[in-house]
Amino acid sequence: MSFDSLNTLSGLLNRPLSIGNRSVANRLWLAPMAGLSHAAFRQVLDEYGGCGLMFTEMCMSRAVPTENPRVSTVFRWREEELPRLVCQIAGATPEDLVPAARRVEKEGFFGVDINMGCSAPGIIKRESGAALLKESGGALAVAEAVRKAVSIPVFVKFRTGWTPDIGPAVALAKNFESTGVDCLVFHPRVAPDKRTRPSVREHITAIAEAVSIPVFGNGDVVTPKDCLDMLQTTGCDGVSVGRMGVARPWLFAEWTAGYVPTDTCFCDYALRLADVLDEQFDPIHALKRYKLFTIYFAANFTFGHSLQSKFLGAKSMDDVRAVAEAHLKPGMRLVKRPNMNLYSI
């Protein structure tokens, strides 16, 4: 990507944005990801900088009202990140979601995000996540109830729906705006699609043109060119990056502030994440989360499958560090786009 294009991208991303009654410094955000956007990863990401808003991993709404952040593996945070942190909650009914949203507001989060995008079988079985898109009345009922219950910004992350027709999603977006939702994060894929097919960028355009509240695009943003193309061709207000942010967390600083990764950036990152996971989680949960991270980390490399298998063989976090130190060297062959055989897991 040319120097001029990078400057254009940085200029577009580094525009402040009002979300409800609050302001965000830039328009490049970390997407919520189950098992990935946890407190340890967010701490490492914060050390690079450049991320306007961060989202927690998905928190089940029925658990949130009584969760103890010192014990919970998902509903936990650092006090210093709260002014830029949105808590994502998943539930099926207003009765599930309202008490959770109130707890989120009480704890001092920037905002609360209603999950209408997850299509994992366990979530769909609970009639949560993308299941809410099967019938618009239920989706609107929970959005309206949460909006009335809290004064902090309310976000909705949602997909195209259960069919490729964008019409119902457009109508839903308009209704979300009418209920007082402050921002939409839109992933332009049908609910059953596990990222095996390209996202449909034109659907982001349709949502952005339908409402006056901010709309963030999400999906298949891997390179700075992808990010610039999404901003320039869809009319969205900003970009939400998920798994590529886990693969290369410095991309937020790189795309917004010209950060230049070092020769040892991959090894440094792998070791730093191991240390912070060790600090914040017990050994079992730390190792489990690290191994999930390696799917996306290893997809950076030409021989990613081999590298990931070495990490998966680790029996402890000390083993993880030994693998990183032995196998992550300067000059390793990188791929321009992630190995989709790994990345789509």
Residue 149: closest CA among 207, 89, 66: 89
138: containing domain: 3-257
Q: Are residue 272 and residue 291 in the same domain, yes or no? A: yes
For residue 4, what is the enclosing H or E element? helix 3-13
Instruction: Examine the pLDDT at 64 and tell me if it is beyond 80.
Output: yes
Query: What DSSP designation does 295 have?
Result: H
Within 13 A of 186's CA, how many CA atoms are on the CB side? Answer: 35
Secondary structure class of 138 (helix, strand, coil):
helix
Q: Identify the domain boundary among 257, 281, 303.
A: 257
Compute the average pLDDT of residues 280-307.
Answer: 94
Write down the pLDDT at residue 69: 94
Q: Of the listed 118, 183, 227, 267, which one is catalytic? A: 118
Separation between Cα atoms, residue 220 and residue 85, nearest integer Å: 23
Q: Are residue 169 and residue 279 in the same domain, yes or no? A: no
Residue 311: closest CA among 332, 297, 300, 329: 297
Tell me the pairing of strands 22-24 and 17-19: antiparallel
Q: Are residue 204 and residue 274 in the same domain, yes or no? A: no
Question: Percent of the chain, pLDDT > 70?
Answer: 97
**SS3 per residue for 57-101:** CCEECCCHHHCCCCCCCCCCCCHHHHHHEEEEEECCCHHHHHHHH
Number of domains within the chain? 2
Give me 258's structure tokens: 């010209």
Write down the pLDDT at residue 338: 79
Instruction: Examine the pLDDT at 193 and tell me if it is beyond 80.
Output: no
Q: Are residue 218 and residue 301 in the same domain, yes or no? A: no
Q: What is the pLDDT of residues 312-328, one digit of tens each?
A: 999 999 999 999 999 99
Write down the pLDDT at residue 345: 42
Q: Are residue 250 and residue 297 in the same domain, yes or no? A: no
Residue 287: closest CA among 314, 325, 322, 268: 314
Q: Identify the domain boundary among 203, 222, 257.
A: 257
Beta-carbon count within 10 A of 164 CB: 11
Instruction: Examine the pLDDT at 337 and tell me if it is beyond 70.
Output: yes
Give me 178's structure tokens: 């009418």
Asked if 56 contacts 86 with a C-beta cutoff of 8 angstroms, the reply is: yes
Secondary structure class of 200 (helix, strand, coil):
coil
Query: Minimum mean pLDDT among 30-34, 130-134, 246-250, 340-344: which range?
Result: 340-344
Q: Are residue 198 and residue 116 in the same domain, yes or no? A: yes
Separation between Cα atoms, residue 345 and residue 329, nearest integer Å: 25
Write down the pLDDT at residue 92: 96
Instruction: Examine the pLDDT at 341 and tell me if it is beyond 80.
Output: no
Compute the average pLDDT of residues 228-256.
Answer: 96
Instruction: Examine the pLDDT at 344 and tell me if it is beyond 60.
Output: no
Q: Identify the domain boundary among 229, 257, 285.
A: 257
Q: Are residue 200 and residue 283 in the same domain, yes or no? A: no
Separation between Cα atoms, residue 164 and residue 94, nearest integer Å: 27
Compute the average pLDDT of residues 58-62.
Answer: 97
- CA 48, 76, 91, 114 dihedral sign is negative
Compute the average pLDDT of residues 38-61.
Answer: 97
As a whole number of Å, the CA-based R_g of the chain is: 19
Compute the average pLDDT of residues 25-39.
Answer: 96
Q: What is the pLDDT of residues 231-243, one digit of tens each?
A: 999 999 999 999 9
Q: What is the pLDDT of residues 266-289, one digit of tens each?
A: 999 999 999 999 999 999 999 999
- Site of tokens 């027709």: 165
- Site of tokens 């580094």: 14
118 catalytic per annotation: yes
Q: What is the pLDDT of residues 70-113, one digit of tens each?
A: 999 999 999 999 999 999 999 999 999 999 999 999 999 999 99
> Following DSSP, what letter does each residue of 206-253 receive, concatenated?
HHHHH-SS-EEEES---SHHHHHHHHHHH--SEEEE-HHHHH-TTHHH
Q: Are residue 181 and residue 276 in the same domain, yes or no? A: no
Q: What is the pLDDT of residues 132-175, one digit of tens each?
A: 999 889 999 999 999 999 999 999 999 999 999 999 999 999 99
Q: Are residue 293 and residue 211 in the same domain, yes or no? A: no
Q: Are residue 249 and residue 287 in the same domain, yes or no? A: no
Give me 345's structure tokens: 């897991």
Q: What is the mean pLDDT of the chain?
A: 94
Give me 323's structure tokens: 């693998």
Q: Are residue 108 and residue 234 in the same domain, yes or no? A: yes
Secondary structure class of 53 (helix, strand, coil):
coil
Write down the pLDDT at residue 191: 87
Instruction: Examine the pLDDT at 202 and tell me if it is beyond 70.
Output: yes
Q: Are residue 274 and residue 251 in the same domain, yes or no? A: no
CATH code (residue 22): 3.20.20.70
pTM of the model: 0.94
